Each structure stands twice: as structure tokens, then as C-alpha cells.
Structure 1
């Protein structure tokens, strides 16, 4: 049971919450009456988290990256089947949309992608159903035969491997009496410190009638030097001709608008891995799992002036464990203002949980400048934030927070923070956001 002295005035707090439906409540200007118990700083519910979300977790965000559409025409070969049909020119056009979309969180970008768009997550990408057209022109420039096709590709990156794979598919969707089928070949390439054992998703030309598809995969291998990174751009070449014709050169070439970043031992010592670094990493901490720790970080995001971890105020990784240790000591163990734990009647196995995290560039503020708070969940399901010390009033302009958090919850959240560089391939000083869900 919590200290009755600490929770004195809880009934009055409940009345305050009931009178203020626009929670979370911020009681910055409300001083506690003498003997009324600790000062209430605010409250938090699941609805508040959604309403005050600053991490920019929109399902899709348009990017300025573009993929150029293009048309390629060439003369048909003498004595070719196309020439026998009266066609002196064959043309191919691929028409992707001109905008790229970024998706922050998704297992497979192709599951949520729209046709005609590039879709990205940090660990993969998808270009979905790029529309292609093939047509034949006679000597007077009239169209005498057409066929349509779709091109798609799905790439999967690994934060712990130097290789990554892309599945490529072409489907013929429409033909006519002059173009009964298409012969299609395809290959891929990559720039930077990258190589490919086989650039072709399938061998040679495949003949595709209406409704038929060709699929296969290509594998890219990154080879950045130890302690370095490489930016890899993938590109693609297609050969499309009518049945029986022979391609001379690719009809269409295009490139991935965003680079894949692969590093060797920058994010995780002794390993190589790859991500789309343009998609910012995100640390997701469910309130139901990390409880008082997650609530403490939410308090800092919602109430404190810097709202660290938000999209416009991201944290940056501090990869030096020695500096991270010094940061924690400066915040939680400073002789100027050491953290004073509560007894078990208030917080069981109390510990100092600092935010911003010690393993960030923003961590390490001397604890005397931090807001000391305690987050307690009450029977109504709300989290109540209280001022932990009457001699150290919270003014909401503090650059950091020291939360009174049960040690187990503190360590669980710390473990999640510690594993993020490996799971998301975050290098030193790289920005990431924190989402409390």
C-alpha cells in the first residue's frame, strides 16, 4: 500500500480530473495547499498519448524523391516478325508515379503500398505495379498493335547481414491480335561498395501471354570497409519486345530514388548490416509493458519544453558506453543533487530512470536541473504525475526528467533502448524518435 501521506489530496485530484475533460491535466500553476500532499503535475491516459503524439507516425508521408517516367522507341529489325506485321517502330513506356511515399512502421511495405508508388520502411522497400506499355507503329506512325504490363519489386534488408534480396515480377495484363505475347528480360545493378553474383531474376527472355507473369530474385552484397559505411543505389533494366523479336538494347532503365546504407561495425561492433537510413528509426515502448518507465518518458515528451524523442526533437545515439555511463552518473548520482529513492510504500524497489537516456547525445544533464517526478497508476486507469520533492518544484522548462521507477521496469526499458542500435542499425549520432503507445 502506498504512503497515505504521499497520496494525500488524491480525492481532490480526482475531482480536478473529472472537471477537466480535455486531459491530460497540467497543473503547472496549481500549488498544493499546506499538508495537502504532493503537487499534481498532470495525468495520462491512452487517449492522451494519441492526442499528443509528437513522433510523426503517419502511415504514409510523401517524399520529394521522384522516379522519372519515360518512353523509348527503336526501329524494328529487318525481316523481324514485327516488320512482317508492318511495324517499322516499336515503343515502350513505363509510367511510375512521380512521388515517393515513406512508411515508418510496417512489416512488408508491399502489403500497404499503393500501385505506382515506391514505399519504404527502414528494413525494406517496394515499388508496386509500375504500368508499362508496348506498341508498334507503321510507316505512317499509326499504332497497329499494343500490349500492357506491370512491374513490381520487393526488397528486404537485414540489420545484421551484408546481403539483401529483392524479388522482381513482371505481369502482362493486356494484349491484342497483333501483339499476342511479349518477350521480356530483366536485370538489376548496384552502385557503391556492392556486387551481385547474378543480376538476372530469371534466365534470358521469357514469353508472357496475357495474364502470365515472370518472377525471380536478385541478391546484392555490400562490402564496406571496417569502420565505414557505403551508400548503395539499385537500378534496373528491362528488355521488352513482341513475340519472336530480338531485343538490341534495354527499352527502359530506372533507379531506386533512395539509397541503402550499409555499415561495417559502425552500428554494432563486428557486424555488417543495411537499412534505409532515410526512414528514421523509432523506439516503441508500450505503456502496458514498460509502465512507469514509459509513463515517465511520455511526461517528458508531453509536458517538458524540449519534448525529446518527438519527430521535431529527436534523440541521437551516443555509441560510447563510457560516455553513456558518465551521463547516467551525472544525472542520477550527482553530489550536487543526488536522486533520493522512495521506500516501497510509494514505489517498490525504486530507482532513478533518466530521460533523455544516458546513451544519447542529449543525456548527461546534471540531475539538479532535471524535473524529479513519480508516475503512479491509480484505480481509474490513469497515470498521475506528481512532483517528487517539495523543495524542488517542477516548472516544465527542465531539459530532463528523473523518474521514480521500479527497478524491473527501468531495466526492461533500458534493455529495449540498448537493443535498438542492433535491431534498427543506428550508428553513432544518428537520430531516432521515441513512441509511447
Structure 2
């Protein structure tokens, strides 16, 4: 038997790494401040924004000082429905990427004005605090989405005690979001302390090519809104709140185009009641092999692989030279079910984690197998006679003495159960628009 291959370091002239689809995006944790001048320049207004842990601390401070503003705010426009999945209002439960078809953003902003005195000292003359909540709700089979915004105006002091008039515009179609368009984008508002403003836009992707052409994936990054002062008597200011993300594609054969949040990792669900021993084989691998492929809690995600490499992987795992021979005992047991023994493998041949893959999703060298015989081996066996295939063949028996360090698992699995999991994989790809290099979890239940 050939040994598992563990590559050495890549050569200096190796090909560049292919970027992986992001699994989680990071947000800035330090305040970001930008200032705007008035003439004379000794008068200035600035805007400062917080996110991450800084936002959490800011939220606590404002809530302690002004709890009434969160209970009795006056809503000055029609309410947009905030998705519960975003976890708005609690910095410890807020999630920018809670679902495959939802992107969320929540930032805390402060406007503050100051003057520079003749002696060079600086005096703060006013401040105004805002809480912005935004979301994009995408569709699996639509290139248009709903963009919602809620602005909660908190405390105001000094020259900004009564707030500030503002015009709010969608960033769709601007330099920040050049790959989408929106109609009727301007929304005027008066940022009066204690008020809440809600708005919605219908935005749509542009630039998608036909399915067979290049350019059929279009990123939607840095989306959100621009807030700009609408007060001719004051210092002009503006800032972008652009923490929303998305991706639209026409890359799934036979499927209409659609959009997702690529930073939200979907989950493929494999039910034992439907897939019997095929599901059990995956569960055994997740629980007993170091790879922990697809295990969200403490494991690592799988990544979809497209192209001819998936067929090469399948050939190495189960093909003519793989050493796989159908089990006559299992074949005999399956004959009354009009089924037969087949070769099944995990991680799937159409993932970058497949045993024969020589490079991972990032283009880095990885250990690999040269035959499926190097994987852990299991065989389905009959435990009941109800006439229901997944019920009667729900368990697997381990062959030999696996070390737990095997790079894959290969099994003798009833054909219909094997193909059933394969069909579920394709359905999951279509359901969540999982493209090449996209990550996904796999849960057996």
C-alpha cells in the first residue's frame, strides 16, 4: 500500500495562492474620526464612529446616561422591520453575518463641534449621538434586494442640542457601491434627539454577464448609506456608513441568478432517517478523525470544488485503481431492496478537503492520499428488516484499526443512500448559492 504523501515547502517560484472565499469578515474596533472645516478654520465639526468592542462600550455609556431614549423615542417616519437575526441593540449578540441571505451593520456615531481659541486651546461647543442599524435582505433567485435603515438619535448638547437636518442617500451606484443601482435614493430627515427614522430602498445588481460568459459573479461591498448635512447656516459635513456586504452571481448552471452574503457560512444538513449508513459514515468521520470536516463547533468548514479535479478525486478514491471491490455479503443483503454496494467517500470528492487534493482552498500544499485504500474504511450492515432502506442499513462497521489521523474515510454504502447524500449536496449548493471555494458546514442529525 502506498503511503500518505505529506508535501514539503512550496518552491520559491510556485504559482500564486488562489484566494479563498471569506468565512468571516472583521470590523474595525477603534473609533474612526473625520473632521470638516468652516471658514474661518478655527470652527470645525467632526464625526466619529465606533464598531466592535468600542461600540459595545459606547452603547453601555449612552444607555446608562439616557435609558429613556431607548424606551420613549419618537418615530418620525414609517418603521422598517429590523430583522431579529441581526441581534441589534445588544453589542454582544449583534451579528453582521447571521444568515446566508442577510447582511447587517450597526454603528454608533457622534458629531461634535469645536472652536480653537486665540490662545490655541480647543473648546467643544456641541455634540450629537446616533445609533445606525442597517441590513440588506437578499434573495436566492433575485438580483434585487431590500436595504433597510433605522437611525436612533440619542443625546444632543450645545450647538447640536436640537440636532441637525440631514439628507440620507444609498451608496448603491456610487464609487463605494458601483455594481448596483437604486432609484429615488435621497431621504431627508431631521436628526432631533429622541427621534427614530426608518427608511428602505430597493437596490439591484448590475454587471452580471450571461451564465456562460466571464464576469458572472459580481461583488457588492461597502454598501450602506451616506449622511450629509442639510443646513446652509452650519458647517457642512458628511460620512459613509458602509458596513453591508453581498455577492450576486449567475454561475449556477440551470439556476436563475441571485444574491447572498458570502461571509455567512451555510450548513448542509444530512439526516440519518433519510440517508442511513451514508449519514452514519460521515458522522463517524467527524467524531473520530482529526480533520473534523464540516464540524462547526471546533472543526473546520468544507469548501466546494468545481471543475475536473473533483472527477480525479473520485477516481482515486473509488475508481479502477483505487482497490475498491464490492462486498458480496452486503450485495446479497441489499438484493431484496433492489440495491447494491457502492463506494462512498468523505470529505466529498467535490471539496478542497477531499483526500486526494494536493492543495487546500488557499492554494497551500496539504497532505494527500494516492488511493482510497489509505483512508479509514467502513462497511454498512443490516440491523433491521422493516423494508425501509435507511432504517435497515443505518449503521457502519469499522475495518481494521484506524489511527484517527487518516485524511478521509471510504465506505461500502448502499447505492441509494450514497446517491441520496450526493443529491442533498447539489440541493444545498443551489439553495445557498455555494460557489467554488465557498465554505459550508455539514451537520448530521
Per the normalisation by structure 2, the TM-score is 0.63
Match of 2:196 among 213, 218, 225: 213
* 1:233 alignment partner, SS class: strand
Matching residue of 1:261: 247
Matching residue of 2:391: none
* 2:97 alignment partner, SS class: strand
Deviation at 1:154, TM superposition (A): 0.9
Deviation at 1:417, TM superposition (A): 0.5
Deviation at 1:240, TM superposition (A): 4.1
Over the residues paired in the alignment, what is the CA RMSD in angstroms?
A: 4.3
Matching residue of 1:186: 168
Deviation at 1:194, TM superposition (A): 0.5
Deviation at 1:160, TM superposition (A): 3.1
Matching residue of 1:223: 207
Structure 1 residues 427, 137: closer, same or farther in 2, change over 3 A? Answer: closer
Structure 1 residues 109, 227: closer, same or farther in 2, change over 3 A? Answer: farther
Q: Structure 2: how far apart are the matches of 1:377 and 1:187?
A: 64
Deviation at 1:254, TM superposition (A): 4.5
Deviation at 1:164, TM superposition (A): 3.0
Structure 1 residues 68, 305: closer, same or farther in 2, change over 3 A? Answer: closer
Matching residue of 1:303: 288
Q: Deviations over 1:113-138 (max 9, x none)?
A: 7439661143322112x222234446
Deviation at 1:92, TM superposition (A): 3.3
Matching residue of 2:133: 152
Structure 1 residues 231, 194: closer, same or farther in 2, change over 3 A? Answer: same
Match of 1:115 among 86, 91, 102: 91
Matching residue of 1:277: 262
Matching residue of 1:9: none
| Contact 1:301-1:308 at 8 Å conserved across structures | yes
Structure 1 residues 70, 308: closer, same or farther in 2, change over 3 A? Answer: closer
| Contact 2:86-2:95 at 8 Å conserved across structures | no
Deviation at 1:255, TM superposition (A): 3.5
Deviation at 1:418, TM superposition (A): 1.0
Deviation at 1:185, TM superposition (A): 1.9
Matching residue of 2:47: 92
Structure 1 residues 146, 360: closer, same or farther in 2, change over 3 A? Answer: closer
Per the normalisation by structure 1, the TM-score is 0.63
Deviation at 1:413, TM superposition (A): 2.4
Unaligned runs of 5+ in 1: 1-60, 79-86, 102-106
Matching residue of 2:220: 232
Within 5 Å, give how 1:30-429 maps onto structure 2: 64-66=26-28, 69-74=31-36, 89-97=44-52, 109-111=85-87, 114-115=90-91, 119-121=96-98, 122-128=100-106, 130-137=107-114, 140=117, 141-175=122-156, 179-190=161-172, 191=176, 194-198=179-183, 200=185, 202-203=186-187, 205-218=188-201, 219-225=203-209, 226-228=213-215, 229-235=217-223, 236-240=225-229, 249-256=236-243, 260-265=246-251, 267-269=252-254, 271-287=256-272, 290-304=275-289, 306-310=291-295, 314-320=301-307, 331-332=317-318, 334=320, 336-340=323-327, 341-344=330-333, 349=339, 351-352=341-342, 353-361=344-352, 362=354, 366-370=371-375, 371-374=377-380, 385-387=396-398, 396=404, 398-405=406-413, 408-429=416-437
Bigger shift: residues 408-417 or 329-338? 329-338
